[in-house]
Chains A and B, each alone.
Chain A
Amino acid sequence: MIALEILLATLPLVFLLSLLFEGIDRKVHARMQRRIGPPIIQPFYDFIKLLVKENIVPTTAARSIFNASPSLAAASSIVGAAIPLANLIARTGIIGDLILVMYLLTMSSIMIVVGGSSSGNPYGAVGFSRKIMMLIGYEIPLLISVVSISIKAGPSLIYYDIILAQIKSDKCLACAYISSATAALTFLLCISAAVGVVPFDIPEAKTEVIHGPLIEYSGPQLALLKLAKSSTIFSLSLLAFTLFFYFPTIYELSIVLGEIATLGACLLGSLMVMLLTVTLPRTVFARLKIGQAFKTYWFFPLPMAITSLMLSVLGW
Chain B
Amino acid sequence: MVNEREVKYDEFARFILPVGPVHPALKEPFHLKIIVKREEVLDVELRLGHVHRGIEFLAENRNLIQAIYLTERICGICSHSHTTCFIQALEEVGGLKPPERALYLRTLIFELERAHSHLLLLGIMAYQIGFDTLFMYTWAAREKVLDLFEEITGNRIHHAMNVIGGVRWDLTPKMAEKTIRVMKDIEVTTRRIYDFFRGETVEKRLSGVGLLSQHDAHELCVVGPTARASGLVFDVRKDDPYAAYGDLNDSFSVISKKEGDSYARTEVRILELFELINIVQAALDRLPNGPINLGESPVRLMRRIPRGEAISRVEAPRGELIYFVKTNGGDGLERLKIRTPTLANIISLKKMLIGCEIADVPVIVTSIDPCLSCANRITLVDHETGEVKVVNADELRRKKS
Q: Which residue numbers of A lie inside 8 Å of B, CB to CB?
A: 32-35, 122-123, 125-126, 129-130, 198-199, 201-202, 205-210, 282-292
Contact B130 A207 (CB under 8 A): yes
Contact A33 B362 (CB under 8 A): no
Q: Give the chain B neighbours of A289 by CB distance below 8 A.
A: 204-205, 357, 359-360
Among B36, B39, B129, B136, residue most surrounded by chain A Cβ atoms (within 10 Å): B129
Given contacts A207-B25, A286-B201, 5 further A-B contacts (CB under 8 A): A122-B16, A286-B126, A286-B202, A287-B130, A289-B204
Contact A207 B17 (CB under 8 A): no
Q: How far is the CA of A296 from the CA of B137 in the complex (A)?
A: 27
Q: Mark B114-147, 1 if CB is under 8 A from A, else 0.
A: 0000000000001111111110110010000000
Q: Mark B22-48, 1 if CB is under 8 A from A, else 0.
A: 011100000000001011000000000
Contact B15 A122 (CB under 8 A): yes
Contact A207 B205 (CB under 8 A): no
The answer to whether residues A122 and B17 also contact, given A35-B136, A198-B132, A286-B202 and a CB cut-off of 8 A, is yes
Contact A126 B361 (CB under 8 A): no
Q: Chain B: interface residue count, which band?
A: 20 to 34
Contact A206 B24 (CB under 8 A): yes
Smallest Cβ-Cβ distance to B199: which chain A residue: A286
Q: Give the chain A neighbours of B132 by CB distance below 8 A.
A: 33, 198, 282-283
Q: List 25 A-B contacts (CB under 8 A).
A: A33-B136, A34-B136, A122-B16, A122-B18, A126-B17, A126-B358, A129-B38, A129-B39, A198-B130, A198-B131, A205-B359, A207-B128, A207-B129, A208-B358, A208-B359, A208-B362, A282-B132, A283-B132, A284-B133, A286-B201, A286-B202, A289-B359, A290-B357, A291-B39, A292-B204
Q: Give the chain A neighbours of B18 by CB distance below 8 A.
A: 122
Q: Give the chain B neighbours of A291 by CB distance below 8 A.
A: 39, 357
Q: Mark B177-213, 1 if CB is under 8 A from A, else 0.
A: 0000000000000000000000001101100000000
Q: Mark B339-371, 1 if CB is under 8 A from A, else 0.
A: 000000000000000000111111000000000
Contact A205 B130 (CB under 8 A): yes
User: Which 3 A-B pairs give the minimum distances between C-beta atoms?
Assistant: A287-B130, A286-B131, A33-B136
Q: How far is the CA of A206 from the CA of B134 in the complex (A)?
A: 16
Q: Give the chain B neighbours of A125 by CB distance below 8 A.
A: 15
Contact B136 A208 (CB under 8 A): no
Smallest Cβ-Cβ distance to B134: which chain A residue: A286
